[in-house]
Structure 1
Amino acid sequence: MLYHIFYALRDVFTPFNVFQYITFRAGGAVLTSLIICFIIGPYVIRKLTELKVGQTVRTDGPATHQCKSGTPTMGGVIILISIVSSVLLWARLDNRFILWLIAGALWLGFLGFWDDYLKLKGKNTKGVSAKGKLFFQTVFAATLAAYLSAFPANPEYATLVNVPFLKSFFVNLSFLYIVFAMIIVVGSSNAVNLTDGLDGLAIGNIVIVAFTLAVFAYLAGTVPVANYLKIIPVSGAAEISVFLAAIVGSGLGFLWYNSYPAQVFMGDTGSLFLGGVLGMSSIFIKQELILLLLGGVFVAEAVSVMIQISYYKRTKQRFFRMAPLHHHFEMSGLSETKVTIRFWIIGILLAILSFASLKLR
């Protein structure tokens, strides 16, 4: 919005020319979303407490988590409001990627909100059924994949997937790319959701991933730089960095309240849409496999659940002490804060490795 208002007046007041720069607007998005979190956070937390919108804790989980029962959840509304408001202010609203990211945030945010609402209404850990949740995620992912099939991010590389660390090496998925894109969106949405089990764990890693993808988006959208680095250039992709910058700001703001001991949980209201938009961003900038590396913490959490379920069905025994993976380490004797910080450290190392892939080819 600010771009469309002030950049049009640059001939009247030359300093307004600064609104053309994505780095300037990305910085504005970080600060705005952070400030919005600080402003509305206490109010939302207070209202959630008054409404008794409290978390129901699994009885089969670590005993130390039982004291968290009743902590306000659905705090994802803080993140959603701050991100969307910031993006509407600082991003170019004529950019198709921005419009899709806003749509994805709202769709998956509402799905998560409805899931949290049903859990609270029933006073248990069950909300929208797994099949129902997967259905609505898949509907959106399929719509997005169909759109990209008709209007690809880069027509020359429409169905190609770049393999990190290999120079100009691509895998052509042909018609299967549609399915691949759907898996990325749905998988990332659910992986972040599964990671959100310890104070600050998910949101801390989301900030790391969002910042790294913001850099990749800026590089992919800057054609000369993209060509130099041998990554797929995508016209308009640099604008995605403004959206991702808003996630960084809101993530840091939410971490203020979500750090141990948490005053509020994001719930599915936050985790489903945050994971989804990260997956969407990686598809838009044609860095799908980088997300698997960069989001290794989320991938490990999701894989641990799949292994646990599969192993239990075959042997009637548990492979891990408890899934997702962060609970396994808790049950093994590590404190919650130690697990969280170590997972952050791993996330930072994976981000560094992802950046290294730009030159190690």
Structure 2
Amino acid sequence: MLTNLLVGSQYPTYQVFVSFFVSCLITALLMPPFIRLMRKDGIGQQVRADGPQTHLVKQGTPTMGGVIILAGMILTTVLFARWTPDLILCVAATIATGLLGLLDDVESVSHGRSLGLTPSQKMLGLIVISVSFCLLAVNWVGVPPTITFPGGFTLDLGVLGFNIGGVSVPWLYLIFVFLLLAGLSNAVNLTDGLDGLAGGTVMVVMLAMSMVAFSYDEINLSVFAAASAGACVGFLWHNCYPAAIFMGDTGSLALGAGFAALAVLTKTEVTSLVMGGLFICEALSVMLQVISFKTTGKRIFLMAPLHHHFEKKGWSETKVVIRFWIVSAMFAAVGFALYFQLR
């Protein structure tokens, strides 16, 4: 099966492999001058006052490295992919969410606090992006408003939809895509709390998504996913402990949205949730912590998100990151295996 995956396509495999390495190189080379620019302008990360005390030394570390991650992804995609409607839509959703994250980062840095945009402002932006993406995916790209589960069961979320001026509005699918895109964007954002954690885990899932897209002969989406993974590797060169720069919300929100967009366009929405299982666990840890504290006054975890819980238990930052990479790879492998049951 793996042999068929690698050589069974009518498209040359080298485009995907080369895009990974080129994106990695572009990002790694552009990052140092960007770091110097951020330091010169005094643009640095604002650390949570209630976070682990060991993180206070990170105060002022250059941030918004997601700008260079996006640059590496887009430049590589321009070089190695054809701009088909599905690729244009995927890139547009990623850039739009990255711009939302950039606004959040700028707001945070300019006001000298760890929180940027308000939750309602972020949510409004994600609603606009996800609804626009979904409507274009259904009406322009031709993505069916359905969800397919492992085993072959398909749920049609367009059955209660309606048309406005010839535009199909599958409102149940709109809600689902919003939850997927907003959920994964915020989940990756929550995961971005330790040096190298978000970059490494996103790299893993994007490599898996590249293989998924390639197996469908969606070479252009495969190139984009591989370029995203490569950009994460180039970023990790500078983000490994102790980090010289952080990706900020610019990178984490954009990468989460790119992951969600790929899932919708390849019709692997369900298996993507398994592939990104680590992100789901991080998000759930925050939700459970808040619910437990508000209802019982007690905390389930020593600190949320989940990676901070293990820090509080005495794990070093590097140990948490590497072990979370391994867990992320396991989730990606299970999700990739389930994906073949959908074919």
Aligned residue identity for 2:135: A
CA offsets, 1:62-99, max 9 Å, x none? 11111111111111111011111111111102x11111
Aligned residue identity for 2:177: A
Aligned residue identity for 2:201: N
CA distance in structure 1 between the partners assigned to 2:138 and 2:34 by the alignment: 40
* Shift of residue 152, structure 1, vs aligned partner: 5.4
Aligned residue identity for 2:92: A
1:288 aligns with 2:276: no
Are the counterparts in 2 of residues 57 and 125 from structure 1 also a CA contact under 8 Å? yes
Are the counterparts in 2 of residues 208 and 347 from structure 1 also a CA contact under 8 Å? yes
| Pairing of 1:18-167 with structure 2 (within 5 A) | 21-93=11-83, 95-151=84-140, 153-154=142-143, 158-164=144-150, 166=151
Deviating more after overlay: 195-204 vs 181-190? 181-190
Task: Decide which of 315, 324, 330 is 2:296's aligned counterpart.
Answer: 315
CA distance in structure 2 between the partners assigned to 1:359 and 1:277 by the alignment: 22
CA distance in structure 2 between the partners assigned to 1:138 and 1:273 by the alignment: 14
CA distance in structure 2 between the partners assigned to 1:283 and 1:255 by the alignment: 27
CA offsets, 1:175-231, max 9 Å, x none? 41221112111111111011000000011010000000111111123xxxxxxxxxx
CA distance in structure 2 between the partners assigned to 1:355 and 1:190 by the alignment: 23
* Shift of residue 354, structure 1, vs aligned partner: 2.0
**SS in structure 2 at match of 1:322:** coil
Are the counterparts in 1 of residues 146 and 154 from structure 2 also a CA contact under 8 Å? yes
CA distance in structure 2 between the partners assigned to 1:241 and 1:22 by the alignment: 12
Match of 2:161 in 1: none
The 1:60–1:220 alpha-carbon spacing in structure 2 relative to 1, beyond 3 Å, is same
The TM-score normalised by the length of structure 1 is 0.85
Unpaired stretches in structure 2, ≥5 consecutive residues: 1-9, 159-169
* Shift of residue 358, structure 1, vs aligned partner: 4.4
Task: Decide which of 130, 150, 153 is 1:169's aligned counterpart.
Answer: 153
Q: How many residues align?
A: 321
Are the counterparts in 1 of residues 87 and 220 from structure 2 also a CA contact under 8 Å? yes
The TM-score normalised by the length of structure 2 is 0.90
CA distance in structure 1 between the partners assigned to 2:43 and 2:80 by the alignment: 32
Return structure 1 stretches of 4+ with deviation > 3 angstroms: 151-154, 358-361
Aligned residue identity for 2:249: D
CA offsets, 1:101-154, max 9 Å, x none? 221122111111111111111111121111101111110100111223324545
Deviating more after overlay: 25-34 vs 249-258? 25-34
**SS in structure 2 at match of 1:138:** helix
Match of 1:276 in 2: 257
Quote the sequence identity (%).
40
Are the counterparts in 2 of residues 153 and 285 from structure 1 also a CA contact under 8 Å? no
Match of 2:7 in 1: none
Unpaired stretches in structure 1, ≥5 consecutive residues: 1-19, 222-236
